[in-house]
Structure 1
């Protein structure tokens, strides 16, 4: 058995333990959906997600290597296909880990609806925001400074900022950490889940740098985007409970929405 198979078995065992420990601890989810509120948030999410789909980004002016800021210049690498592939699949994997927070409410249809609504809104906002920035800011990827453009990357070499893979990884990690923390405040798995999810997201961000796809500022921006929506959307859907007096008000305005929260 190689190290990868052993790691996969350990990961599967952890998931099984989580499932067994929470399946019979059914309770009403701390999160809920609201038709009026989610129509507003959903509409705003689509307004962020859709425009970049109809705009073709184009290469910008090539910046000379000597003109790159010192922080980014210190961590520039050649293209590494293996790390590119691994980090891509790992980023996709982090998009499904928020489902762990549903284990204790797996028999609750309303919880499934609430989580599905929240995650769809968070994903659309994350995807749309990173695409808007990629369209507005044409930046060559680090590997372009070490030779030719890798095969198949001819239409993507100038989309370095921000890192989409990192934004998805931190969306998954933050969404899971936020929801798991509130759903199971007394769980012994709370700290391992939070640490593990962020460790995975950080690992993906590191691979995006080491693979030559991104500068460190690209992955920092991606992490901020994913973390923001991974925290904000669940917070806007918190159910008012005894000891948790949260009031959220969504107000639509001409060019967006205003969300106010009181605790």
Structure 2
């Protein structure tokens, strides 16, 4: 039993301790791995809170109209393009997949486990903030004010989940995470503005289509996007190495014996 525990510790040290590659800008620890299922559990509890919101009464909903919405947001209450929902989902899934494309780079791929861990940690944080944040609000979605939308949808689940815009936030967290990773591995790259500009396109598309679908007001989107951008940039940033380590720790397991070798660079 002791051998099994020690072996597990050695494996965790080997994968999640210090970055052995000189090109790796991040330090990822075992606690970061543990945070992923913890975030998943918190998100699940938050989702239960989200789904526990009361439904709107049809007698009340029928009295609503776009004129009840402030002038800045009013346009969203007249939108109901169903195809925009399909487009927004496609843009979101594309954004979520983009960070994995950074692994095509050999330097980043060498540290693939660390990058994937940081990405899952980022999206886990996004899930916690979204589920618990939105579960505490009661802002009606724009389509609730639209008389052309069927009453079942206007009074259905999710009708009070307008603030803040989760889809655009999740897309921004994904794409800006990818841009941040590329920046940290290649801080001297030329025309870096192209990377950051490209990172902004999928979230902008998701936000636009969610607006056209009557899911969010502009103010919901304005609140959601910065949350995603901040998470995508800050999670990798707080894991950056302060300086190159002089000590290398290399755990190995050979012939049922665990060995940890230390190398000090003068």
Normalised by the length of structure 1, the TM-score is 0.71
Equivalent residues of 1:143, 1:149 under 8 A apart: no
Aligned to 1:260: none
Instruction: Pick closer, same or farther for the CA change 1:107–1:216 going to 2, 3 Å.
Output: closer
Instruction: Pick closer, same or farther for the CA change 1:75–1:96 going to 2, 3 Å.
Output: same
Residue 53 (structure 1) aligned to one of 44, 47, 52: 47
Based on CA coordinates, which of the two structures has the bigger radius of gyration?
2
Aligned to 2:161: 159
Deviations 1:131-175 (A, max 9, x none): 112211122211221223477773222221111211111111221
Unaligned runs of 5+ in 1: 1-25, 243-263
Q: How does 1:8-19 map to 2 (within 5 A)?
A: none
1:84 and 2:90 are equivalent in the alignment: no
Unaligned runs of 5+ in 2: 1-20, 245-266
Equivalent residues of 1:98, 1:176 under 8 A apart: yes
Aligned to 1:69: 70
Equivalent residues of 1:122, 1:230 under 8 A apart: yes
Instruction: Pick closer, same or farther for the CA change 1:208–1:150 going to 2, 3 Å.
Output: farther
Residue 33 (structure 1) aligned to one of 28, 34, 47: 28
Aligned to 1:132: 132
Instruction: Pick closer, same or farther for the CA change 1:52–1:192 going to 2, 3 Å.
Output: same
How far did 1:51 drift? 2.1
| C-alpha separation in 1, matches of 2:124 and 2:93 | 15
Aligned length: 214
1:143 and 2:143 are equivalent in the alignment: yes
Aligned to 2:239: 237
Instruction: Pick closer, same or farther for the CA change 1:89–1:53 going to 2, 3 Å.
Output: same
| C-alpha separation in 1, matches of 2:38 and 2:135 | 19
Instruction: Pick closer, same or farther for the CA change 1:207–1:53 going to 2, 3 Å.
Output: closer
CA RMSD of aligned residues (A): 2.7
